[in-house]
Amino acid sequence: MSVPVVGVETDADGGAASIATPTLRALLRRSSFWIIAGAGIIGVAVVAVLVSGGTNVVGRALAGDNPSPAGSMALVEVLRQQGVTVQLADSLAEVRSLAGNNSTVLLYDENGYLIDSQLAELARLATRTVIVAPDFLALQSLAPAVGFGGVSGAKSLVADCALPAANRAEQIIPGGNTLSLPGSGTGCFPSGKDTFSVVQNGSTTLVADPRVFNNENVAGFGNAALALGLLGQSDSVIWYLPTLADLPRTGPPSLAALTPGWVTPVLLLLGVTAIAAAFWRGRRFGPLVAENLPVTVKASETMEGRARLYARSNARLRALDALRIGAVQRLATTVGLGRLAPLEEIIGSVAALTGGAPATVRSVLVEAVPTSDAQLLALSDSLLALERATSRAVAAGAAPETGGVASAIPPALSPTDLETERMDP
């Protein structure tokens, strides 16, 4: 068929209005609110971090560059103002390179990174050592005579010793851990028998309570006097807080040490390539086209649904009734009776035509009640057989067949057998 009418639809104006994609400038103008709002939010966030960052950042405890309450920046700065060179060290190697012939080392090993030999080397390197909150290993290797004294119960800690720095301090912050010194030695700030907060053991001074040095408490009691007195004796102080770098390396070299230098950049390049490829494949060629799809309903759905309902509720008789009514109507038409013919007449004609007993035909068409699925199937088969036999008989010129239906109906379906049949659960 040729197309009857040719219509022409043109896009005559062809101006800027016919371009759906916005220009970069229009896009920026349209989204200017969001750009400005985003920039504003980022700006406010940056300002807020800068303003509150000084107090909120929780750095390492007693770190010399940490201005938070747990840090020790105040003490370090005061020492520097007094002309003492304070150098911060993160590893024993750094201490080794920094140590002069008259330097004090402050050691605060919060996580217990240092081992025996490292502690011994540290003691050799420094002229004086101040160990804050020594752990068991530190006590073992540097001051074997000193033990742990538990938490101080004294209300106030008074110097009460020969150490000049302690004497000048007079008092330090009460509470905190103590050290026990059962034998002879210099112990200051006692809180009970043989328990002291500060113990001097040769060139090593042990301070049990780290709070003496932190920003929060250094200004209270005589804390500052004790700290400055202990650390200000020499020109240079090495502020040493051990890190992971001090852990001894064991095992085979790591993967990073074995891979060549170009591996990470190439991996990054692959990542960039993957992003570019995603953009290449994922960029849409224009907007999606919408289409209204029609409703699709299969007309046989109701029939299938009814069949499943029959099967689920084992509605054998109801199902058989439908089949029987259909069969009776077809039989009525086959034998030449009207659609509204009485059932008895139909049974009579069918029985006469097929040569079966009217009682058998009646049982198949009306009376037999199936009690199991097998019986239902058998009955449906005999219905079909009856229909076939009838139409054969009609086609053969109404010559009665002998035993046509009687053999088609299984003996299990005679009414007497049905009574004795086991009921299905």
d(CA 118, CA 141): 10
**221 and 172 in contact (C-beta within 8 Å)?**
yes
Q: Indicate whether 322 belongs to the interface with another protein (CB under 8 A).
A: yes
Q: Which of 101, 100, 70, 73 is nearest to 88 (CA)?
A: 73
d(CA 396, CA 174): 124
Binding-site string for another protein from residue 63 to residue 82, where x marks contact by CB under 8 A and - marks none: --------------------
Nearer to another protein, 17 or 50 (CB): 17
Nearer to another protein, 2 or 420 (CB): 2
Among 116, 216, 235, 304, binds another protein (CB under 8 A): 304
Nearer to another protein, 290 or 423 (CB): 290
Which span (1-9, 143-151, 157-165, 229-237) binds another protein, by CB under 8 A? 1-9
Which span (20-28, 128-136, 142-150, 156-164) binds another protein, by CB under 8 A? 20-28
Nearer to another protein, 269 or 357 (CB): 269
Among 88, 137, 161, 323, binds another protein (CB under 8 A): 323
Neighbours of 184 (CB within 10 A): 7
Q: Which of 261, 243, 256, 369 is nearest to 315 (CA)?
A: 369
d(CA 234, CA 321): 113
Helices (H), 126-163: 136-142
235 to 294, contacts with another protein by CB under 8 A?
260-262, 264-266, 268-270, 272-273, 276-277, 279-280, 283, 285-287, 289-291, 294
Among 238, 320, 335, 347, binds another protein (CB under 8 A): 320
Q: Which of 243, 212, 242, 240 is nearest to 106 (CA)?
A: 240
Q: Tell me the Ramachandran region of residue 69: left when phi exceeds 0, alpha when psi lies from -120 to 50, beta otherwise.
A: alpha
Among 97, 203, 302, 333, binds another protein (CB under 8 A): 302
The residues with which 206 forms a beta bridge, in sequence order, are 131, 199
Burial group, residue 82, by CB count within 10 angstroms (0-12, 13-18, 19+) = exposed
Which span (49-57, 350-358, 374-382, 396-404) binds another protein, by CB under 8 A? 374-382
Nearer to another protein, 220 or 326 (CB): 326
- CA-based radius of gyration for the chain: 51
Minimum distance from residue 383 beta carbon to another protein (Å): 9
d(CA 377, CA 412): 12
Write out the residues near another protein by the rule CB under 8 A: 1, 3-12, 14, 17-21, 23, 260-262, 264-266, 268-270, 272-273, 276-277, 279-280, 283, 285-287, 289-291, 294-300, 302-304, 306-308, 310-311, 318-320, 322-323, 325-326, 329, 339, 373, 376-377, 380-381, 384
